[in-house]
Amino acid sequence: MSSLSIILLIVSVALMLGVAFLQIRYNKIKQEWERAEKEQTEKDDLIKKEALIQAKEALQAEREKINEDERERRRELNNLENKLTKREDILENKIQEVTDKESQLDKKEEELEQKENYLAETIQKQIAELERIAGMSREDAKNMLLEQLKHDLAQEQMQLIRENEAKIREDALEKSKEILSTTMQRCMMDQVVESTVAVVSLPNDEMKGRIIGREGRNIRTLETLTGVDLIIDDTPEAVVLSCFDPVRREIAKIALEKLIQDGRIHPVRIEEVVEKSREEIEKKIFHEGENAALDMGVMGLSKELIKNLGRLYYRTSYGQNVLKHSLEVGHIAGMLAAELGANVYVAKRAGLLHDIGKAVDQTQEGTHIQLGVELARRFGEKEEIIHAIEAHHDDVTANTIEAVLVKLADAISAGRPGARRDTLEIYIKRLQKIEEIVNGYKGIKQSFAVQAGREVRVIVESEMFDDLASQKLARDIAKKIEDELDYPGQIRVTVVREFRTVEIAK
């Protein structure tokens, strides 16, 4: 045998041995796998049996619990059923009682109806008898009674009104006196009455000729540049300046005083001095406006508003200096606001600016209120300030307490004695209007407006008025005066009813 054959034989034997070994190993592994699988199957069966037993036990316990709950609910239902049965018995008894009472009430209603019918017949008989005795019908007696009740109620109403008015007037008067006296004591300002003319003193009467100049050229130049009328008459050592615009009048006055002091009076010099005087007045106007704002403690005003405020220094209303009036209104409004817990700063600012429109009302169209609102809105004032300016003469209804206080402070400042003066024509018309209002009522014998229109005395026919009617008449007259007249301060209405009895002893 060759070596190759031997090798092949050896390899064949080795392969056979390997195959035999693998077969044996495979059989062992298969046996072990089958044994392990059998054991696992037995374990699974055991676990399943245990789980099934536990589930049966849990199901049995749940059944017992459900049975117990059901037994408990049955007991509760039995108890409820017993209670309902008892309640039904009680309700049946009550229903029976109600039925018995209804029967009794029906009987009583029948009895009452019979009694009512009897009473109605009796009343009718009595009414007929009373009508026969009194000699008047039922309707006549009813009307007479109603008239008497109306009269009694009217008297009681007037009495209640009088008592309530007296109480309200007393309380309001005391409170208002307290607030106003405190405010007025804290605000004391000079009252200056100014006119539309100014007088310049001259060192001698010869100065009049120099002011007039050759052929009147000096006086014409001065009047043309200033817009002021110079009145040179027989008044010794004086020249009168007349102009409705106080600023122009003041410029002319300062310029004329400088010319007199300098002694050089001719058209060129007059033009120079008038221009310098105008610059001085503009500076003074701004200075007065600044001082007023500082005095009031109002900051942040625009320069144009300050300038217009300063122009009020030369503006008067019924003889009252408007700038001083505005300062007074601002102070009074601020103090009233402090007393009442309102916004003091808004009240002061609105009070100071309430008449700002009077700075331009002589040169622009519109009332001083319209112009003041326009100026305030143009230069950035807040709406609450604008509203107070617009409402201080009731052009619109005052919707804020500060606006009401500015209106009140304006009336206080203008209405205090000596603050303003009326022209004779306005004064006479007001007195005539007061007497006309009073004489429009029936039963007025005489009426007199006295104390410069601060009081009206009314003498009535004593036969037409009793005490309560006199009080009502006084209140009606006062109300009508308030509605139809504009006036500073207040007007007292006094009704006089005189009854005289005369007998002659013989």
The span from the CA of 354 to the CA of 389, in Å, is: 5
Are 209 and 312 part of one and the same domain?
yes
Residue 481 within a domain:
yes
* Whether the Cβ atoms of residue 369 and residue 392 lie closer than 8 Å to each other: yes
**The pLDDT of residue 191:** 41
Residue 85 has pLDDT above 80, yes or no: yes
Are 326 and 449 part of one and the same domain?
no
Residue 473 has pLDDT above 80, yes or no: yes
pTM of the model: 0.48
Listed range (21-30, 137-146, 292-301, 383-392) with the worst mean pLDDT: 137-146
The span from the CA of 206 to the CA of 222, in Å, is: 18
Are 338 and 204 part of one and the same domain?
yes
Query: Mind listing the pLDDT tens digit for each residue in 208-244?
Result: 888 888 888 888 888 888 888 888 877 777 888 887 7
> At which of 360, 381, 415 does a domain end?
415
Angle of helix 303-311 relative to helix 322-340, nearest 10 degrees, comes to 110
127 or 192: which carries more pLDDT confidence?
127
* Whether the Cβ atoms of residue 255 and residue 274 lie closer than 8 Å to each other: yes
Are 408 and 439 part of one and the same domain?
no
What's the mean pLDDT in 405-432?
70
Residue 326 within a domain:
yes
What is the SS3 assignment for 354? coil
| HEC-encoded secondary structure of 52-89 | HHHHHHHHHHHHHHHHHHHHHHHHHHHHHHHHHHHHHH
What's the mean pLDDT in 400-425?
72
**The pLDDT of residue 4:** 77
State the Rg of the chain over Cα: 56
Are 483 and 355 part of one and the same domain?
no
As a dihedral over the C-alpha atoms of residue 334, residue 340, residue 342, residue 348, rounded to 10 degrees, the angle is -10
What's the mean pLDDT in 378-388?
90
Are 356 and 407 part of one and the same domain?
yes
Are 205 and 309 part of one and the same domain?
yes
Query: Mind listing the pLDDT tens digit for each residue in 48-66?
Result: 888 888 888 888 888 888 8
Residue 295's Cβ-side half-sphere holds a number of Cα atoms within 13 Å equal to 21
> At which of 415, 439, 467 does a domain end?
415
Are 205 and 244 part of one and the same domain?
yes
Model confidence at 427, pLDDT cuts 50, 70, 90, reads low
**The pLDDT of residue 177:** 60
205 or 261: which carries more pLDDT confidence?
261
Query: Mind listing the pLDDT tens digit for each residue in 10-21?
Result: 888 888 888 888
DSSP 413-460: HHHSTTS----HHHHHHHHHHHHHHHHTSTTEEEEEEETTTTEEEEEE
Are 314 and 379 part of one and the same domain?
yes
What is the SS3 assignment for 494? strand
Are 274 and 403 part of one and the same domain?
yes
* Total count of domains within the chain: 2
Are 438 and 410 part of one and the same domain?
no
What is the SS3 assignment for 202? coil
Residue 335 within a domain:
yes
Residue 158 has pLDDT above 70, yes or no: yes
CATH number at residue 309: 3.30.1370.10
Residue 225 within a domain:
yes
> At which of 366, 394, 415 does a domain end?
415
The span from the CA of 315 to the CA of 461, in Å, is: 49
Residue 322 within a domain:
yes
Conformational region of residue 397, where left means phi above 0, alpha means psi within -120 to 50, and beta covers everything else? beta
Model confidence at 173, pLDDT cuts 50, 70, 90, reads low
Residue 175 has pLDDT above 80, yes or no: no
**The pLDDT of residue 189:** 47
Strand segments, DSSP code E, in 293-406 are 316-317, 320-321
Are 456 and 328 part of one and the same domain?
no
* Whether the Cβ atoms of residue 462 and residue 443 lie closer than 8 Å to each other: no
Strand segments, DSSP code E, in 227-382 are 229-231, 238-242, 316-317, 320-321
Residue 122 within a domain:
no
Mean pLDDT of the chain: 81
Residue 188 has pLDDT above 70, yes or no: no
| HEC-encoded secondary structure of 274-302 | HHHHHHHHHHHHHHHHHHHHHHHCCCCCC
Residue 330 within a domain:
yes
Residue 289 within a domain:
yes
CATH number at residue 456: 3.30.300.30
User: What is the span of the domain harbouring residue 431?
Assistant: 424-497
